[in-house]
Structure 1
Amino acid sequence: MKDTPGWASPGSAPSDGQEPGATGPAEPADHPEPAQQPGADPQDAGPKWSKEQPPPGQWSAPTGPQSPGQTPPPPPPGPGWGAPPPAGPGGHGGGHPGYGPPGGYGGWGAGWGGPPPAAKPGVIPLRPLGVGEILDGAVSTMRTYWRTVLGISLTVAVVTEILVILVQGFVLNDRVSTGALNDPSATLDELTRAMGDAMLSSSVIFLISIIGAIVATALLTAVTSRAVLGKSVTTGEAWRDARPQVPRLFGLIFLLLLMAFGVVFVGALPGILVAATGSGDAGVALTILGIIGGFVVALWLWFRFSLASPALMLEKQGIVKALSRSAKLVRGSWWRVFGIQLLATIIANIVAAIVVIPFTFLAAALSGDATTNILNGATDLGWTFLIVSGVGSVIGSMITFPITAGVTVLLYIDQRIRREALDLELARAAGVQGYGTTDTPGS
């Protein structure tokens, strides 16, 4: 049986001379009295102890003569499991002698108090985690190591937002038009073209944001993994640790995105082919259904491989091996992984929206044309709007990156604790003395 984190072994078996299925203590036969030391007073042994004592390793009530109505004295402490069972008829202890409730972790003689708390050298206890503990661990990492965490998040957020502003300002504003979506008299071709432009614009922004989020997760993986051990790491150390895996990380990102968009495209392909044959309405309907079905499959695959990034960074694995490791860790826990990551994303985005929305209104107030364009469905938002709203997006990303990245890494660690007893390795790495060196009771 696998060790349970935080539990101590009893460390002793039933005493010699007692059969496991016996219902009473083994009576010693013709046991001689202990020899008296020269010059010692026989009464110094205590007025309540019988001269006849059981051999070492056993205890029971004294069998010598007693005064009527006298309560048997308590047994001497021995290497058993604490207090003896209640006395049965005749003054003998019932049940198995030598066994009782252990006195907790590392000691005997008191009542069983349950398993001791798991070791917690860092931001999480070294045992399987609950949802609240994973979220709290991510926030605690950001709060405890805020210089490194916010430094990495700020750098990635600034680079990501600069790319978004440049693509939006120089490419999407001139090449993408979604005004037909708000035009009641627009033809089907115009609506289809406008919908395609809107999807293109959203996909490009989403692609850049996803790349930034995964890079931030990779760089913050070293910070979170050290935080679990209670050790700090600088931005330079995190970069040196992540740098050898960065090319593989971008390969992983490309493969995941190709997989997701490929599944959606395959789902939409039948509708596109039907529309190309001349059945416009049927083709559009079939395309929409195919996109929805492909999106569901892509979502399932995305979260199935969502732990590949920390597996690649911490285990120094290749791309295919990291995907396989993620699939193995998520197998049987997809809904849990999906729910926790979705909850973390919702919480992080709600907190970020508190910052981003005021900057968006400020940007709209400073750029009157942008407000009109937004209401008309146009994508030409103007440089003033893009820059001012971009500042708010950077601040929001500084909040979302550490939370989502921390939750992903802690989910990876939690799944390995549940499946591979990683807590033992973490305890040894953190220098926790004696953790996991004894067997769990009953194992």
Structure 2
Amino acid sequence: MKDTPGWASPGSAPSDGQEPGASGPAEPADRPGSSDQPGADPQGPGSKWSKEQPPPAQWSAPTGPANPGQAPPPPPPGPGWGARPPASPGGPGNGQGGYGGWGSGWGGPPPAAKPGVIPLRPLGVGEILDGAVSTMRTYWRTVLGISLTVAVVTQIVVILLEGLVLNDASTAALDDPSASVDELTRALGDAMLSTGVVFLISLIGTIVATALLTTVTSRAVLGKSVTTGEAWRDARPQVAKLFGLIFLLILIAVAVVAVGALPGILAVVAGAGDGGAALAVLGSLATGVVALWLMVRFSLASPALMLEKQGILKSLSRSAKLVRGSWWRVFGIQLLATLIANIVASIVVLPFAFIASALDGEGFTGLVNSGSDFGWTYLIVSGVGSVIGAMITFPITAGVTVLLYIDQRIRREALDIDLARAAGIQDSGSGTAGPTPGG
């Protein structure tokens, strides 16, 4: 075996050209002091001592100190493990970042592969947010086309319902201090009906946009583009299951909060008055925390259902497994992404709301007056602002959820290796050795 720097220590194995069993380097025939030349060692031929002497001019006898009682000076410090050897012209270590034997520095693991919008390794918070924005920026035709189509259809339905049906619901009693209990109950029911219908329509649009954008984001991770038609063909078999998943999650959250409020409601019915109402509020808050914990625990069920082609219950189980041990991280990233998306959307939506209120004749005071009946001008102008805001919120929230799902699978299941192979990268294991920011 050859003595390779950094692998075998010198003298541990015979070098090339040396007979096995020899303990030292081959000695030249004309070397002074050999057994067949004058001046051989007095110990006689075959002396191991004379054969192991190094060639002339390669070493010098150690010299003692001038003062016998003084210790010899320490040797000069040599290069350490991390020191870089002197550069040689045209060779490694010449400033080019090459290797240099024992003294060369270790440059760390190779960088992770990045075929698409994220590097294929565990991601940090900033990389997840940047990946969602990069997907929207790189594949803007598909992303904005999907978001615009879903937002326009959703807002048209909302405007028609608010202008033709829900606008007749009277909520003026909510601002009237002299209103009777029956009037307040009727007004509160109308307001809840109007809000619930709008929320339901918006939820349907969000589900469709999430289903389509999940496919786009998953392809963007591999650096592959996808058209709107391809995204729809890929997502269509799972859309019905996605609807069922979202409605099941809403049902779970409402049921958990209702269980907490039920004792207080029963106390109010029994005549407990303010004490029962307070108990209902405290119970709702306590179970609301439980509902929030469950929603975060199941928050990755949507991409699991769409990308793994799982059923509803299996997707919930997959999400719970991926989030286990990382609840606070998943919650924090999703909360941050929601805040950023809603703040940016509000910057766009609020000016349209003020302009719509001014053009409708209600003025700015109409925005805070719950009993105002806005006309078609207000509904159309504010709807345009809502469409633009949805074009921002849909890609960010859906993209962050998908990238969180991919990140958790990379951390727990080494998904980066499969992603690298799917992207056509030969060294599919290089991404696993990279750093782990935010891990």
Give the superposition deviation at 1:184.
3.0
Is structure 2 residue 166 aligned with structure 1 residue 172?
Answer: yes
> Unpaired runs of 5+ in structure 1?
1-11, 20-26, 37-61, 71-88
Tell me what 2:359 maps to.
366
In structure 1, C-alpha distance between the alignment counterparts of 2:164 and 2:138, rounded to whole Å? 40
Tell me, yes or no, if the aligned pair for 2:338 and 2:397 is still in contact at 8 Å: yes
- Structure 2 CA distance for partners of 1:32 and 1:240, relative to 1, 3 Å: same
Is structure 2 residue 157 aligned with structure 1 residue 163?
Answer: yes
Give the superposition deviation at 1:113.
1.3
Percent identity over the alignment is 73
Is structure 2 residue 269 aligned with structure 1 residue 251?
Answer: no
Deviations 1:394-430 (A, max 9, x none): 0110011111111111111111111111111111111
Code of the aligned partner of 2:398: A
Give the counterpart of 2:290 among 297, 322, 325: 297
**Where in structure 2 are the equivalents of 1:34-45 lying within 5 Å?**
none
Give the number of the structure whose alpha-carbon radius of gyration is greater.
2
Give the superposition deviation at 1:105.
11
Tell me, yes or no, if the aligned pair for 1:142 and 1:402 is still in contact at 8 Å: yes
**Where in structure 2 are the equivalents of 1:63-74 lying within 5 Å?**
66-68=58-60
Code of the aligned partner of 2:297: R
Tell me what 1:436 maps to.
429
Give the superposition deviation at 1:440.
6.3
Give the superposition deviation at 1:259.
1.2
Is structure 2 residue 126 aligned with structure 1 residue 142?
Answer: no
- Structure 2 CA distance for partners of 1:28 and 1:158, relative to 1, 3 Å: farther
Give the superposition deviation at 1:160.
1.7
Deviations 1:376-399 (A, max 9, x none): 322632222111101110011001
In structure 2, C-alpha distance between the alignment counterparts of 1:284 and 1:383, rounded to whole Å? 40
**Where in structure 2 are the equivalents of 1:29-428 lying within 5 Å?**
29-33=23-27, 66-68=58-60, 109=101, 110-175=104-169, 177-186=170-179, 190-191=183-184, 194-369=187-362, 374-378=367-371, 380-428=373-421
CA RMSD of aligned residues (A): 3.7
In structure 1, C-alpha distance between the alignment counterparts of 2:22 and 2:157, rounded to whole Å? 87
Task: Give TM-score, length-normalised by structure 2.
Answer: 0.75
> Unpaired runs of 5+ in structure 2?
1-5, 14-20, 31-53, 63-73, 86-92, 435-439
Q: Give 3-state SS (helix, strand or coil) of 1:143's partner.
A: helix
In structure 2, C-alpha distance between the alignment counterparts of 1:130 and 1:438, rounded to whole Å? 15
In structure 1, C-alpha distance between the alignment counterparts of 2:98 and 2:421, rounded to whole Å? 19
Tell me, yes or no, if the aligned pair for 1:369 and 1:382 is still in contact at 8 Å: no
Paired residue total: 376
Tell me what 1:77 maps to.
none
Code of the aligned partner of 2:262: L
In structure 1, C-alpha distance between the alignment counterparts of 2:24 and 2:98, rounded to whole Å? 36
Task: Give TM-score, length-normalised by structure 1.
Answer: 0.75
Tell me, yes or no, if the aligned pair for 1:217 and 1:405 is still in contact at 8 Å: yes
In structure 1, C-alpha distance between the alignment counterparts of 2:193 and 2:329, rounded to whole Å? 32
Give the superposition deviation at 1:314.
0.7
